[in-house]
Amino acid sequence: MPLSTSNALRVKMMDQTQIEMKPGNEMKPQDEMKKVLETALLVSHEPLSLHQIGKLFETEIDNDGLRALLEEIKADWSGRGVELVQVASGWRFQARSEYQRYINRLSPEKPPKYSRAVLETLAIIAYRQPATRGDIEDIRGVAVSPNILKTLEGRGWIDVIGHRDVPGRPGLYATTKQFLDDMNLRSLQELPSLDQFVVNEQMLLTEAMMPAIEQPDEESGEEETESLSEEANAGTAA
């Protein structure tokens, strides 16, 4: 006796269910969670913290469990052009450094260039934080132009976290999570040690920071540094 349309559809659905339920065909919960994690990380424009990642699942997963999943995903993507990394703000996918120059060709805008004075100031704050403007001037041996600090604040790399309890209450500068993220660092402890620094005119500059910050050409850098020094001297004279 031929099956009715509704019965035939029901049998077909049962057969499909049996196929899906065969051993080896069902997706393991852990694999499903990894797919969810990969999707969220790939579409996110910012690093995701463990707290944010935990919100993806209805079942509560402790941080150790989330880290284990992330490490598995990191291993799955090893050897590809994109890698999963942990920075100060959380986890994110990014192009491997050796392929970044190809990605840069897609963007007509060149990354901002910073003078040596800006980079020196940033390095001093990173290693001596919290530091006041006076601390920076003592190390550099020259006046620090307000424009230098404004440039670093505008980039989101430094911020005033308090004031020193001395006359004038100068602001105390420190680096931010944005700075660590842009340098692909999880914490300040991952900064290169001082013995990896290059000493140039009594200024400490780390070569490890240079790939993340494009420096100007030598001539343009000198011109910009000189102009900033002139502005600082003019402000001091005023």
Verify that 125 and 180 share a domain, yes or no: yes
pLDDT-based confidence at residue 114 (cuts at 50, 70, 90): confident
Task: Render pLDDT for 158-176 as a digit per residue (tens, 0 to 9).
Answer: 999 999 999 999 999 999 9
SS (H, E, C) 90-146: EEEEEECHHHHHHHHCCCCCCCCCCCHHHHHHHHHHHHHCCECHHHHHHHHCCCCCH
pLDDT-derived band of residue 196, with 50, 70 and 90 as boundaries?
Answer: low
Domain for residue 109, yes or no? no
Query: Looking at the predicted structure, is the pLDDT value of residue 199 above 50?
Result: no
Q: State both tokens at 217.
A: 């050409």
Angle at 83 between CA 79 and CA 85, to 5 degrees: 135
Indicate if the pLDDT at residue 142 is higher than 80: yes
Task: Look at residue 106 and tell me if it is in a domain.
Answer: no
Query: Does residue 31 belong to any structural domain of this protein?
Result: yes
Give the pLDDT confidence of 66-106 residue by residue, as tens digits.
999 999 999 999 989 999 999 999 999 999 989 988 888 88
Q: Does 168 reside within a domain?
A: yes
Q: How is residue 16 written in tokens?
A: 């499909």
Q: Kindly give, in sequence order, each residue whose CB lies less than 8 Å from that of residue 237, ignoring residues fewer than 6 positions away.
A: none
Structural domain range at position 92: 5-100
Q: Quick one: 76 and 125 in the same domain?
A: no
Q: Are residues 222 and 137 in the same domain?
A: yes
Average pLDDT of 173-180?
Answer: 94
22-66 pLDDT tens trace? 444 455 688 899 999 999 999 999 999 999 999 999 888 899 999
Q: Is residue 107 part of a domain?
A: no
Amino acid at 233: N
**Cβ atoms 224, 115 nearer than 8 A:** yes
Q: Residue 130, preceding bond cis, omega within 30 degrees?
A: yes
CATH code at position 130? 1.10.10.10
Distance CA 115, CA 111 (A): 13
**pLDDT value, residue 112:** 77
Question: pLDDT higher for 82 or 3?
Answer: 82
